[in-house]
Structures are given as structure tokens and as C-alpha cells.
Amino acid sequence: MNKRSRTALVIVGHGSTTNPDSSEPNHLLADSIRSLGIFDEVLCCFWKEEPSLREIIHSISSPDIYIVPNFISEGYFTQTVIPRELELEGRLTRRQGKTIRYCEPVGNHPSMTSVLLKRAREIAPGVPESETSLLIVGHGTNLNDNSAKAAKTQCHLISEMGLYPEVLPTYMEEPPLISEWAAMTSQQNVVVIPFFISDGLHSYQDIPVLLGIRDEVGPAASQSDIFKSNPHFLHGKNLYYGSAIGTDPMMSEVILDQVAAFDSARQK
């Protein structure tokens, strides 16, 4: 991507008042993109942490601004909270001498597929894909269909490649449940990737219990070795468990791809 003078990139995250690991992926991605020198300004803002959504636009001097939600799927935060807090009028907002371009969340972009495949290979190095079931774990909820849609889309894209005999979306709160992973997989090797932005309560506490890796909730991700203990031998299978997909350094490319996708869509 060419240099964009007088342009700022804002990466929007959820943040957390209780989980110190929640905002780290956003800051690391901002540092990585900032080092490329493409944008004059690269900043993060959050719903639950500082700097806040309401303050961020006022701190930017560049007249052109790209907003990229670092979220897995469209939903309440990307469709309601972020536009409301940033006072957006749609995908394109012009206000007080600034042009604000609101991109789609990272989880919607096709390049996310490459990040998932890279993570799967890192989790189970040397394990034949042809003898492996790949499970992508989303939150799932009966309150918002989009919560499950992103995982289903990625599973479909990877299945079409024919690399794995099974590529299945699973969820914490709706069928197919990740707690039933052993019954739904036919392969000797099972790779599980949490389809979340950060290693929060779900990836380092809830899912390990649902998988049977742990009997009770463990410590924070920064204090845990849960992602370094592969494989786990359960139900006669080799279970490989990885950290949240949003922690992968390749996510910086996905963010830049969403910026490019915005420009491409506006030119059509």
C-alpha cells in the first residue's frame, strides 16, 4: 500500500475494564502498521478503555481518517455503538473539515482465511491437514445471527480449498457446541482456533473448560501456558488448541486490506 499523506488510521477495539489482555492486540497492530509509514497517524480507541471513541476524532490532526473496527463480525458494536459514539452519518462522513471513512470489521474480509490457515499450521506443526479436523470457535448467540455468520463463512471458504476433511464452525452458546467437539469430529487430530480478537475470558478460561483441557477456570492469558501444552490427549484424539485469531501479526494486513476494500468499493 502506498503512503497516504495527511491521513490517519484508527483501529477500534472493544477493550475491557477487567481483562488486561483485551486491548493488547490493538496496540501491537497499531505499532506494526505505524512502522510501515503509510499513514501520518495510527491510533487505537476503545469502547471500554481509554482513549475513548468519543475523544479520538478530536485528537487527530489529519483531514482524512479511516476507521477500522477490530471486530470479528457485524453486530451491535459495529452497527450501533461505534457509529453513535463517532457521530457517523454512514460509511462516509464529512464534518468540521475532516472526511471520515468507516470500513467494515476485520472479520468480514476474505484475507482472514489466510490468517486462520497460518494459525492452524502453527498450532499443529507437522500434523497432516488431511488427517485433521479444523474447528473454528465463535461465541454464538440467539440475539444476533451475525455472531455466528463470520465463523460459518470462514469454514465454508476453507472447506472449498479441500485441505482438511472437516472444517466446522462451533460455538459456546449455540449448536453445534464446542463442548461436543469429540463427537462431531472423525479425525485423529483436532485443531481448535478461537475466532476472537483477544485472549479474554472466553479463550483462556471458558473454552478450555468446555474442551475438557481444564477442570476449572484458569489464570489470565498473560499468566497461562494453556496455549503451549499441545497436544492434549482426550477421547482418543490429539487436541491442539491455539490463542485467539486476533493476536496473529498477520491481522495488520487484514486491517490494511479493509482500508483498500473501502476505497475500491467507493470507486465502483
CATH number for the domain that contains residue 50: 3.40.50.1400
Do 121 and 177 reside in the same domain of the chain? yes
CA distance 55 to 63: 16
Do 162 and 253 reside in the same domain of the chain? no
pLDDT above 90 (res 94): yes
- Residue 142's pLDDT is 57
Do 150 and 161 reside in the same domain of the chain? yes
Do 120 and 131 reside in the same domain of the chain? yes
Do 171 and 229 reside in the same domain of the chain? yes
Please give the residue range of the domain that contains residue 253.
Answer: 4-107+249-267
- Residue 1's pLDDT is 83
Number of domains in the chain: 2
Residue 190 grid coordinates: 483436532
Q: What is the mean pLDDT of residues 221-246?
A: 84
Report yes or no: 232 and 112 within 8 Å, Cβ to Cβ. Answer: no
Do 205 and 114 reside in the same domain of the chain? yes
Q: What is the mean pLDDT of residues 185-214?
A: 90
- Residue 183's pLDDT is 97
3-state SS, one letter per residue, for the chain: CCCEEEEEEEEEECCCCCCCCCCHHHHHHHHHHHCCCCEEEEEEEECCCCCEHHHHHHHCCCCEEEEEECCCCCCHHHHHHHHHHHCCCCCEEEECCEEEEECCCHHHCCCHHHHHHHHHHHHCCCCCHHHEEEEEEECCCCCCCHHHHHHHHHHHHHHHHCCCCEEEEEECCCCCEHHHHHHHCCCCEEEEEECCCCCCHHHHHHHHHHHCCCCCCCCCHHHCCHHHCCCEEECCEEEEECCCHHHCCCHHHHHHHHHHHHHHHHHC
Please identify which residue in the block is written with the cell numbers 482500508: 259
Query: Higher-confidence residue: 66 or 2?
Result: 66
Do 230 and 120 reside in the same domain of the chain? yes
Do 140 and 256 reside in the same domain of the chain? no
- Residue 220's pLDDT is 52
Report yes or no: 145 and 179 within 8 Å, Cβ to Cβ. Answer: no
Q: What is the mean pLDDT of residues 148-165?
A: 93
Question: 217: pLDDT confidence band, cut at 50, 70 and 90?
Answer: low
Do 124 and 58 reside in the same domain of the chain? no
Do 206 and 176 reside in the same domain of the chain? yes
- Residue 216's pLDDT is 66
Do 117 and 96 reside in the same domain of the chain? no
Mean pLDDT check: name the lowest of 20-34, 119-133, 163-177, 229-243. 20-34
Do 136 and 74 reside in the same domain of the chain? no
CA distance 53 to 45: 6
- Residue 242's pLDDT is 92
